Amino acid sequence: MKRANILIVDDDVFFQKTIGDILLKADFNIFLCGGIKEAERIFNKNYIDIVILDLVLKGDSGIDYIPLFINNGTRVIVLTGHASLDTAISALKLGASEYLRKPVEPKQLIETVEYVLRKTKEDGRESEGSLKVKLERLELLDLISRAITSTTEIMPLLKMSLNVTMGFLGVEAASIFLQDEATGDLVCSMASGLKGETVEGLKISKGKGVAGWVVDHGEGVIIEDVSEDHRFTSDIDKKTGFNTQSILAVPMKLRGKVVGVFEVINKKKGIKFTIDDQNLLFSITNHLIIAIDNARMTEELRQSKEQLEIKVKERTRELEETLEKLKKMQGQLIHTEKMASLGIMAAGVAHEINNPLSFIQSNLFILKDYFNTCWTNRNTQSEEEIKDLIAAVKESLDGTQRITSIVKGLKEFARKDEGKKEFFNIAQLIEEVLKMLANEIKYKAEIIKEFVNVPSAFANRNEISQVIVNLVMNAAQSMENKGKIYIRTSSNNEFVCFEVEDTGCGIPMENMKKIFDPFFTTKSVGKGTGLGLSITMGIIQNHGGKITVDSEVGKGTKFTVSLPTRSPQIRDRS
């Protein structure tokens, strides 16, 4: 025959089944339900000895139904959560016999049920004194609960909890031992009462003493006389001079694993520890373990945050170093591409310089002969001869100016860049680049310039000249027969734009997405590095500009470049 009929009312199906199984194994008859309406139906059809009632149900307050159950002589044990202690106090005032703090230890659950059944047989109704004690215990739990939610400082909280527990239970000493995860030893993290300061920091070897037994078995224990219990060892008493006589110890469990032990020692005035004392200590422990876990997580988060900040700083430094290296590499690539462009232009430049050099040399020979003649036939030179002399000198000066211009342009183009940005006229820069490329282009394409007045561009002049060189030379090299290259300027809001459009072979659709990739080229070996357009894209993006391309196979390609007309500081202010 079953010991008693118990109705469990809880909307958490998993918790409901868990405590139901525990009580079923302890030979109780169990009824399970998730709400008040179903509970009333079961209650009206069956004789129920005890209702275990969750105070917080979906859509209902369990506390409102306590009078319904107790008016029929049924005892009520209320289930309380961390935030419902005030409600639990009200529940006891309404006639509830006991309370259990979630999560519930199996041993604590069974002992509480047996205690309520025993009290029912002994005296029927709850005495006023007994109710007062239970209310005081709930108020103690409420005090500890509020302290937990108001601080993340674990040591002051543990100290306060030990002191109020000692005062309430009337014991000489209390201590909390936490398990060292590496060794399994128990270390006294906090102690209070007689000799408390000498106990803190002391270790109990794994599995030794009463505390070691509690950890190994995961159960609470009451020892009325330690001298008659083999589990007790006097090592700590010998070190501290304390005289242990009786002990109440309960495990501190976190997510089902024992992580420590809460002990109270020597109840005063010769009074013995009771199951009520043990249940109270279990409840206090359930509160404290949450605080300890929160403190550990807070400390782990703090350490993780510090480590993350260190890693971020290291990573930022590495990225800054990498960025600096990439900038240097980009500069080297741009310079390398310039040198490659210069190599392509070399033959044409030599031809451009040879032309003026030839007539300068010829004119100098003429001048030499003429001066010899003048010296021989002094005072007889005609006016016509003087004009010829002046013309030869002027032609030679024009030639030297032309050479100077070409050499200056090449030097400007070839010099290593310092990254300086300035305002300049884009059309003027295009003209300078075309002079350098004149001989390279004139046999392949006709240049058609369509310039309009536009604002000055704000950019690195030397890098943009590289862009123009790359685009114009690509246009020229795209033509199998002589074609046309259109170069246009325009402006658009805060950007100045230029286009380079050719009548060459065009770019196949499958290559359009790859033309800006490093080392991609459709030219034969030795005809290109595959870096020209990649470098061009990098330069334009670094200037906060844009480059777009339109192409049709057999008709030609058009590149459009947009450059800022104002510095970033001016743009931000506007």
pLDDT for res 520: 65
pLDDT for res 199: 87
Domain(s) labelled CATH 3.30.450.40 in the chain stretch across: 152-273
| Mean pLDDT across 223-238 | 90
pLDDT for res 150: 63
Residue 274 to residue 458: CA distance in whole angstroms: 87
pLDDT higher than threshold 70 for residue 117: yes
pLDDT higher than threshold 90 for residue 222: yes
| Mean pLDDT across 291-311 | 84
Q: What spatial distance separates the first Cα and last Cα of the chain, rounded to whole Å?
A: 89
pLDDT for res 83: 46
pLDDT tens column, 463-498: 898 889 889 988 988 888 889 999 999 998 789 999
pLDDT for res 357: 64
Strand partners, 192: 174
pLDDT for res 354: 59
pLDDT higher than threshold 60 for residue 400: yes
CB environment 417-440: b (16+ within 10 A), e (fewer): beeebeebbbbebbebbbebbbbb
3-state secondary structure (DSSP) of residue 422: strand
Peptide bond into 518 cis (omega under 30): no
In sequence order, which residues have a C-beta less than 8 Å from that of residue 211 and are 6 or more positions away? 177, 186, 204, 249, 261, 263
Take residue 297 and report the two structure tokens written for it.
């997580």
Which of 229, 237, 247 lies closest to 171, judged by CA?
247
Band of residue 280 on the pLDDT scale cut at 50, 70, 90 = confident
- 370 against 354, higher pLDDT: 370
Give the rounded percent of residues in the chain with a pLDDT score beyond 70.
Answer: 73
The values of phi and psi at residue 552, to 5°, are -140, 125
Residue 403 to residue 231: CA distance in whole angstroms: 106
When mean pLDDT is compared across 150-159, 172-181, 197-206, the lowest value belongs to: 150-159
pLDDT tens column, 409-468: 555 555 555 568 889 999 999 998 888 788 778 888 999 999 999 999 999 888 898 889
Take residue 410 and report the two structure tokens written for it.
């090449």
Q: Assign 3-class secondary structure to 167-204.
A: HHHCEEEEEEEEECCCCCCEEEEEEEECCHHHHCCCEE
Take residue 254 and report the two structure tokens written for it.
């976190």
Residue 417 to residue 465: CA distance in whole angstroms: 11
- 114 against 348, higher pLDDT: 114
Based on the number of CB atoms within 10 Å of its own CB, is 378 exposed (0-12), middle (13-18) or buried (19 or more)?
exposed
Count of residues for the chain? 574
Band of residue 342 on the pLDDT scale cut at 50, 70, 90 = low
pLDDT tens column, 9-26: 998 888 889 899 999 999
- Which of 293-302, 312-321, 483-492 is the most confident on average? 483-492
Written as one letter, the residue type at 481 is N
Take residue 473 and report the two structure tokens written for it.
């030379």
pLDDT for res 111: 86
pLDDT for res 101: 76
| Mean pLDDT across 249-273 | 89
pLDDT higher than threshold 60 for residue 569: no
pLDDT for res 164: 81
Domain(s) labelled CATH 3.30.565.10 in the chain stretch across: 419-574
CATH topology of domain 419-574: Heat Shock Protein 90 (3.30.565)
Based on the number of CB atoms within 10 Å of its own CB, is 384 exposed (0-12), middle (13-18) or buried (19 or more)?
exposed
When mean pLDDT is compared across 50-64, 384-398, 416-430, the lowest value belongs to: 384-398
pLDDT higher than threshold 70 for residue 364: no
Take residue 352 and report the two structure tokens written for it.
């451009």
Domain(s) labelled CATH 3.40.50.2300 in the chain stretch across: 5-148
- Would the pTM of this model clear 0.75, i.e. be above it? no
Which of 452, 444, 491, 449 lies closest to 468, judged by CA?
449
- 152-273 carries CATH number 3.10.580.10: no
pLDDT higher than threshold 90 for residue 55: no
- Which of 61-65, 85-89, 570-574 is the most confident on average? 61-65
pLDDT higher than threshold 90 for residue 516: no
- 42 against 330, higher pLDDT: 42
Architecture of domain 5-148: 3-Layer(aba) Sandwich (3.40)
Take residue 45 and report the two structure tokens written for it.
């059809």
| Mean pLDDT across 66-75 | 84
pLDDT for res 349: 58
pLDDT higher than threshold 50 for residue 529: no
Band of residue 135 on the pLDDT scale cut at 50, 70, 90 = low
Residue located via tokens 């741009």 = 334
pLDDT higher than threshold 80 for residue 332: no
Give the rounded percent of residues in the chain with a pLDDT score beyond 90.
Answer: 25
Residue 22 to residue 11: CA distance in whole angstroms: 18
In sequence order, which residues have a C-beta less than 8 Å from that of residue 293 and are 6 or more positions away? 254
Take residue 532 and report the two structure tokens written for it.
């020209």
